[in-house]
Amino acid sequence: GQQVMQIPQYQHVQEGEDFTTYCNSSTTLSNIQWYKQRPGGHPVFLIQLVKSGEVKKQKRLTFQFGEAKKNSSLHITATQTTDVGTYFCAGPDGSSNAGGTSYGKLTFGQGTILTVHP
Amino acid sequence: SAVISQKPSRDICQRGTSLTIQCQVDSQVTMMFWYRQQPGQSLTLIATANQGSEATYESGFVIDKFPISRPNLTFSTLTVSNMSPEDSSIYLCSVVGQRGLWYGYTFGSGTRLTVV
């Protein structure tokens, strides 16, 4: 079945440093999604990328989807203590509709646990 | 996005007993899922809850151990049966497709289960 690999597993940074997590799928994805889980919390949807080579920004967060639609990255510029948590990528296990969205089950990466030291 | 009420938030149970977890959504949703997450680990899909029919289970999960109900488009339950310490985990429901629209997958706050 589909596998989604995510690295690194852990990342410790000083506040103000940048952070990047990488996601690779064993199959071509119709879209890729990113979620953030704060310590003790539940995953919260951040963004979805659909198009090959797509880049989206949310304030200090930059998300990229690879040209082959098999890899993705999340980059945080100048981390803050509020960025602490686990970041997961997730790919749909199957096809999506014409708009690139899917309603089926997701395969999650292992997650990257980000610690920010003040 | 949808608002999910998941209950209970945590429980400590004796081995051999069963616990039913409820997931109530504030509006009709297209799909509902149940996940398990060990602390510090990723999410593992248990099953897709199908409205009015038997759930679709992932490899390694069976109906006798994790019976699931979804009587309508806003409610589902997951039962963890005949529990053992290995069932200690966080269980999460997830939904997508509120009112047929897409806002990403929304998760309940989770049920932290400890089996002693």
**For B95, nearest residue in chain A (alpha carbons):** A103
Residue type, position B3, single letter: V
Question: Higher confidence at residue A103 or residue A36?
Answer: A36
Q: What pLDDT, on a 0 to 100 scale, did the predictor assign at position B97? A: 83
- By Cβ distance, the residue of B45, B58, B109 closest to A42 is B109
Q: What pLDDT score does A103 carry? A: 79
Question: Would you give per-residue pLDDT tens digits along chain B (116 residues)?
Answer: 789 999 999 999 999 999 999 999 999 998 899 999 998 899 999 999 988 889 999 999 999 999 999 999 999 999 999 999 999 999 999 998 877 677 889 999 999 999 99
pLDDT at A101 over 80: no
Query: Which pLDDT belongs to residue A13?
Result: 98
B43 and A CB contact within 8 Å: yes
Instruction: Inform me whether the C-beta atom of residue B97 falls under 8 Å from chain A C-beta atoms.
Output: yes
| Residue B50 touches partner A, C-beta closer than 8 Å | no
Neighbours of A21 (CB within 10 A): 24
Tens of pLDDT, residue by residue over A28-69, are 999 999 999 999 999 999 999 999 999 999 999 999 999 999
Query: Taking residues A72-81, what's their average pLDDT?
Result: 98
Question: Chain A residue with minimal CA distance to B103?
Answer: A45
Q: Do B107 and A104 touch (CB under 8 A)?
A: no
CB B92 within 8 A of CB B98: no
Which string of b and e fits A28-63 if b means at least 16 CB within 10 Å? Answer: ebbbbbbbbbeeeebbbbbbbbbeeebebeeeebeb
Nearest to B42 among A41, A88, A99 (CB): A88
Among A2, A15, A14, A35, residue whose Cα is nearest residue A111: A35
